[in-house]
Amino acid sequence: MPNRFITTVGAVILALTSGGAYAGTPTMLPHEPAEAAYYADVYADHYGVPRALVHAIIRAESNWHPNAVSDKGAMGLMQLMPATARTYGVRDPFSVTDNINGGVRYLASLINKFGDLRLAVAAYYRGSHPIEQRGLNYSNRAVSNYVRVVRRFYDEELQRHQGNTLHP
């Protein structure tokens, strides 16, 4: 049975090979449904999380597949574990709006807690406890790789948005 990192790497490879281009508002990839991208932006704005980060997390977690389930039991677009989903009021983890709302609320709480996007992303993947204890000295290879992938996707999202600004 593949572990979560292997599953995530598979999604990353699929996402990287599928290409994608910014098609106005919001950013669109072949696997990125317009409804999900819209709500990712709405909830990112509502909770004060960078839109590009929310898109990067969704891309890394599920590659925009709302019915994704990991071998560890994480569900939906933002791959919420059942306890996290309950904590953030997610009634249906496969509902685009519920999942994104809960996932972005959770991400916003991690950003608020850690004050550093790298640590927040690491905690999103691994959980808060080990990151709280070790911070940037946390040396789990899967977590480091996940943070690196999210950073690459985040940078790509920023470039997509910057590439479509209107210039006089």
pLDDT 10s digits, 72-106 = 999 999 999 999 999 999 999 999 999 999 999 99
One-letter amino acid for residue 25 of the chain: T
Name the residue ranges covered by the structural domains of the chain: 4-161
CA pair distance 77, 97, nearest whole angstrom:
10
In percent, how much of the chain has pLDDT > 90?
A: 67
Q: Is domain 4-161 given the CATH code 3.30.70.2190 in the classification?
A: no
CA pair distance 142, 133, nearest whole angstrom:
17
> pTM for this one?
0.78
What's the chain's average pLDDT?
A: 82
- Tell me the two tokens of residue 105: 């609320």
Residues 11-24: tens digit of each pLDDT: 433 333 333 322 22
One-letter amino acid for residue 4 of the chain: R
Instruction: Quote the radius of gyration of the chain (alpha carbons, Å).
Output: 15
Looking at the annotation, which residues are catalytic? Answer: 61
